[in-house]
Amino acid sequence: MAIFSQSPDIQGERQYGQDVRTQNVVACQAVANIVKSSLGPVGLDKMLVDDIGDVTITNDGATILKMLEVEHPAAKVLVELAELQDKEVGDGTTSVVIIAAELLKRANDLVRNKIHPTSIIGGYRLAMREACKYVDEKLAVKVEKLGKDSLINCAKTSMSSKLIASDSDFFANLVVDAVQAVKTTNARGEVKYPIKGINILKAHGKSARDSYLLNGYALNVGRAAQGMPTRVAPAKIACLDFNLQKTKMQMGVQVLVSDPRELEKIRQRESDITKERIEKLLKAGANVVLTTKGIDDMSLKYFVEAGAIAVRRVRKEDLRHIAKATGATVISTFADMEGEETFDSSLLGFADEVVEERISDDDVVMVKGTKNSSAVSLILRGANDFMLDEMDRSLHDALCIVKRTLESNTVVAGGGAVEAALSVYLENLATTLGSREQLAIAEFAESFLIIPKVLAVNAAKDATELVAKLRAYHHTAQTKADKQHFSSMGLDLLKGIIRNNLEAGVIEPAMSKVKIIQFATEAAITILRIDDMIKLVKDDQENGED
């Protein structure tokens, strides 16, 4: 029942009971239906046009949801959920939204049948724990068993639904090489793969297959002046975060000048300050200067004379990565404790060489042979901006997936295998419980089947038949001890048959699946708990008084 009441003390409307729940579920279904058709190796892309007419063509769930300006408060939860999945795992954003929406829809049906939301939430929580445990114990396979190919297969699986699926062999190798190149070991001895150390540059022209991996960190900017050398080796790099332009006096500083000749001295001193700063840099031994701000044309000549490379307007993010890779310190001022301006050579970073190269029509500055961590750059080639942007997003997903596989070392079969297995397992589990949660867990189990169903529908195959066969295989795997290997049976969507996806090389990191289950359940529970919505109306009279 819903009541739209406008009581004299609260200016607004209140909806409660079943109405709010149904409304929330409908809103979440609507969001999930938008991304549904982009799931899987034969998923379709979305074209999004924003209010100023910029076009984005993408298959990435998180990107699609970010671009949609979702108004409904409950649907916003799903958008944030996709972003969280993107941050934590990097891939699987579409699946997590679809599962969350399905869980909600089923929960809503249960509430209609007079089952209290608290019982459903308890059942969902229990099912989530059991599902995660089952994935870790029974379905996950150690990477050592599968060798280096498993990394390439993970990358290929991640790319299969994207634009670059046709060249996935080529890009998967590129991605695996890139992730392995940035391998670092931190102080505690853990091996980490910082994805941020991989810089992705987009250059127009040639075909996607002409993309390549460069050893070194590439900056998408050229030298500040043509007179500078194109190559400096070995490089000593200064990373600055301030202007090397003629210093102007601060606002509000008043200078009373009685003699007009003094004016010229003031101007001279202004340009000398910058000159002294640059001399301090060069004296400390810097032969490459990177700054996020500008460098005056007057000041450039000092660098040209010294045979140093200066680069202006470097992105802050790039500067931080270079500082980290070369061991430099990013400084935002020369001032020291005594109020003097100094620059110490210990603040410099080191690299084997810094060179300027031409890639298609752009000049890029490459920092090669860095001292601390090795940085690599992926140079993407493609026909147009949309293609390049989408390649960038696809590779980001694949890089994250390879990183997760390397760090967690366990994978599971893809193509709906895990979901089908969990569905069968949880259904059997539900029948053993004599408590109220039984129905909720049974619905939770059903919800997982949405993934193989959507995969089959997107591939224009008979979903009902395929899902039934898939469940039969998994039921056999879980009841007969000698048929354990059936637990990695999944869909082959190109031929429309069931196959062993571990052997076929369709695999994903186990962590990605576990996170999907956790996040989707949490999101569903969050929305399910809501049974009252109060919208406040702005009071016009008060604003006038303010």
pLDDT score, position 542: 55
The model's confidence at residue 518, banded by pLDDT at 50, 70 and 90, is very high
Half-sphere exposure of 4 (CA within 13 A, CB side): 1
Least confident of 113-117, 178-182, 184-188: 184-188
The per-residue pLDDT for 307 is 84
- Can you give the pLDDT at residue 5? 55
Residue 366: how many CB atoms within 10 A of its CB?
A: 20
Strands 212-215, 376-382: pairing is antiparallel
Q: Give residue 519's pLDDT band: very low, low, confident or very high (50, 70, 90).
A: very high
Query: Which pLDDT belongs to residue 99?
Result: 92
Residue 207, token pair as written in the block:
């075909």
Confidence of residue 103 (pLDDT cuts 50, 70, 90): very high
CA distance 416 to 490: 5
Active-site residue 94, yes or no? yes
Does residue 273 fall inside a structural domain?
A: yes
Residue 283 lies in a domain: yes
Q: How far apart are CA 86 and CA 92, in angstroms?
A: 8
pLDDT of residue 67: 85
When divided into structural domains, the chain yields a total of 1
Q: What is the pLDDT of residue 105?
A: 92
> Is pLDDT above 80 for 512?
yes
| Predicted pLDDT of residue 545 | 52
Mean pLDDT of the region 220-247: 80
**pLDDT recorded at residue 104:** 92
Which of 94, 157, 274, 326 does the annotation list as catalytic? Answer: 94
Rounded distance between C-alpha atoms, residue 413 and residue 506, angstroms: 6
How far is residue 532's CA from residue 19's CA, in Å, rounded to a whole number?
9
Q: How many Å apart are CA 350 and CA 354, to the nearest integer?
A: 10
Where b means 16+ CB within 10 Å and e means fewer, 5-38 reads eeeeeeeebbbbeeebbebbbebbbebbebbbbb
Q: What are the backbone dihedrals phi and psi of residue 212, each rounded to the nearest 5 degrees, phi first?
A: -155, 170
Greater confidence (544 vs 384) lies with 384
Query: What pLDDT sits at residue 128?
Result: 92
Residue 250 — φ and ψ, nearest 5°? -60, 155
Tokens of 69: 């300006």
> CA neighbours within 13 Å on the CB side: how many for 367?
38
Q: Which range has the worst mean pLDDT, 44-53, 150-159, 452-461, 477-486?
A: 477-486
**Please, what is the average pLDDT of the chain?**
83
Residue 277 lies in a domain: yes
Residue 351 has pLDDT above 70, yes or no: yes
Q: In this model, does residue 375 exceed pLDDT 70?
A: yes
Does residue 416 fall inside a structural domain?
no
Q: Is 184 a catalytic residue?
A: no
The lowest-confidence range among 103-112, 242-251, 318-327, 408-417 is: 242-251
d(CA 29, CA 72) in angstroms, rounded, equals 12
pTM: 0.81
Distance CA 306, CA 115 (A): 79
Element (H, E) at 8: none
Rounded CA-CA distance 155/167 in Å is: 12
| Confidence at residue 106, expressed as pLDDT on a 0 to 100 scale | 92
Q: Does residue 358 lie in a domain region? A: yes
| 60: annotated active-site residue | yes
Rounded-to-integer distance, Cα 233 and Cα 514, Å: 48
* Selected catalytic residue, list 93, 291, 326, 370: 93
| Measured distance CA(429)–CA(178) in Å, rounded | 43
**How does residue 400 score in pLDDT terms, banded at 50, 70 and 90?**
confident
CB count in 10 Å sphere of residue 194: 17
Closest CA to 404 of 516, 520, 512: 512
Find the catalytic residue in 370, 397, 405, 492.
397
- Residue 312's nearest CA partner among 242, 217, 376 is 242
**Is residue 343 one of the residues assigned to a domain?**
yes
- Dihedral over alpha carbons 393, 512, 78, 59 (to 10 degrees): 30
**Which residue of the set 45, 56, 60, 405 is catalytic?**
60
pLDDT-based confidence at 543, cuts 50/70/90? low
Average pLDDT over residues 106-112: 91
pLDDT at 121: 92
pLDDT in the model for residue 7: 56
What local confidence, expressed as pLDDT, does residue 293 receive? 84
SS3 60: coil
* CA gap 249, 251 in Å, rounded: 7
State the Cα–Cα distance between residues 171 and 80, nearest whole angstrom. 29
Q: What is the greatest pairwise CA distance in the chain?
A: 101
CA distances from 437 to 103, 133, 443 (A): 14, 18, 10
Q: Is the dihedral of CA 256, 262, 267, 272 positive or negative?
A: negative
At 10, the pLDDT band (50, 70, 90 cuts) reads low
Model pLDDT for residues 74-84, shown as the tens digit of each residue: 888 888 888 88
Q: What is the pLDDT of residue 353?
A: 83
**CATH number of the structural domain spanning residue 308:** 3.50.7.10
Q: Confidence band (pLDDT; 50, 70, 90) for 124?
A: very high
Are 336 and 356 in contact by the 8 Å Cβ rule? The answer is: no
In this prediction, residue 256 carries a pLDDT of: 80
* Confidence band, pLDDT 50/70/90 cuts, at residue 279: confident
What whole-number distance in Å separates Cα of residue 165 and Cα of residue 15?
A: 47
For residues 269 and 263, what is the distance between their CA atoms, to the nearest angstrom? 10
**What pLDDT, on the 0 to 100 scale, is given for residue 132?**
92
526 Cβ partners below 8 Å, 6+ apart? 77
Q: Which domain holds residue 291?
A: 217-373
For position 80, what pLDDT does the model report?
86
